[in-house]
């Protein structure tokens, strides 16, 4: 799990290091549609301060990568700092990083409404009490909430717009593929709010469990 400030410009946009100018522009537009001030995702997940930090980094990344001279200097810096391999710059195909959100959804609004109603109609009192009584909360505890309602992980995606791969990483405590802390806290907050559980306890308990896992691995 990496902190947001540790992400390089390519990782911010979720594009390969050898991305074309067209791909950079498209990624920039998509990123603004997700994290811009008018975006419902940005409003739901991030504080004003967090949104400003993200947008500042997005603008910095774009202005660097779209300028050929600046980009070459930036790439040289990444190579010098051993953050990328020189061969990555010339590879024809690279694995594109997993995006955190998706803004594309056929019939998403109707599905989201149905999922929220199912959660509201389900008696989760005992399950919630059992989870909140724990000092450390695991991804499996969160999964139990979802499975008690009887919804698939794809259903969570329809409500939160957090990609399935990220939701799976959260439920499986896979700290190696979890997003940066600023994202993770807000994703956990969204998860908790959806099931009407105390967000602070979920976040604190999950992070404590995650630190325990990393300390014993």
Domains of the chain: 4-89 (1.10.287.110), 108-216 (1.10.260.40)
pLDDT for res 93: 47
Task: For residue range 159-168, list pLDDT tens digits in order.
Answer: 887 878 889 9
Mean pLDDT along residues 5-31: 85
Residue 46 has a pLDDT of 67
Of residues 103, 123, 96, the one with CA closest to residue 30: 103
141, exposed or middle or buried, with CB in 10 Å at 0-12, 13-18, 19+? buried
Please provide the average confidence, as pLDDT, over all residues in the chain: 82
Q: Please report the pLDDT score of residue 157 as a whole number.
A: 83
- Between CA 43 and CA 75 the distance in angstroms is 33
CA dihedral 72→73→78→84, nearest 10 degrees, is: 20
Distance CA 26, CA 13 (A): 9
- What is the mean predicted confidence (pLDDT) over 113-141? 92
pTM above 0.75, yes or no: no
pLDDT value at 11 more than 80 = yes
Q: Given a cut of 50, is residue 177 above it in pLDDT?
A: yes
Residue scoring higher pLDDT (38 or 27): 27
Per mean pLDDT, which range of 42-46, 78-82, 107-111, 174-178 is the poorest? Answer: 42-46
Give residue 3's pLDDT: 63
Residue 37 pLDDT: 60
Looking at per-residue pLDDT, the higher value among 34 and 203 belongs to 203
- What is the pLDDT at residue 88? 76
Supply φ then ψ for residue 86, to 5 degrees. Answer: -55, -35
């Amino acid at each position: 799990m990496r902190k947001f400030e540790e992400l390089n410009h390519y990782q911010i946009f979720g594009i390969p290091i050898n991305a074309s100018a067209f791909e950079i522009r498209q990624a920039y537009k998509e990123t603004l549609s997700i994290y811009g001030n008018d975006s419902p995702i940005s409003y739901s997940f991030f504080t004003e301060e967090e949104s400003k930090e993200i947008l500042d980094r997005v603008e910095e990344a774009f202005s660097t990568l779209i300028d050929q001279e600046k980009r070459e200097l930036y790439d040289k810096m990444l190579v010098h700092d051993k953050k990328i391999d020189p061969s990555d710059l010339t590879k024809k195909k690279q694995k594109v990083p997993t995006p955190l959100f998706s803004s594309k959804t056929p019939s998403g609004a109707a599905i989201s409404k149905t999922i929220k109603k199912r959660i509201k109609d389900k008696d989760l009192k005992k399950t919630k009490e059992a989870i909140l009584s724990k000092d450390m909360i695991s991804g499996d505890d969160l999964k139990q909430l979802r499975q008690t309602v009887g919804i698939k992980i794809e259903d969570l995606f329809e409500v939160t717009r957090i990609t399935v791969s990220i939701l799976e990483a959260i439920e499986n405590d896979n700290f190696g593929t979890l997003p940066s802390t600023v994202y993770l806290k807000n994703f956990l907050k969204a998860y908790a709010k959806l099931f009407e559980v105390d967000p602070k306890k979920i976040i604190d308990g999950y992070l404590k469990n995650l630190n325990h896992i990393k300390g014993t691995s």
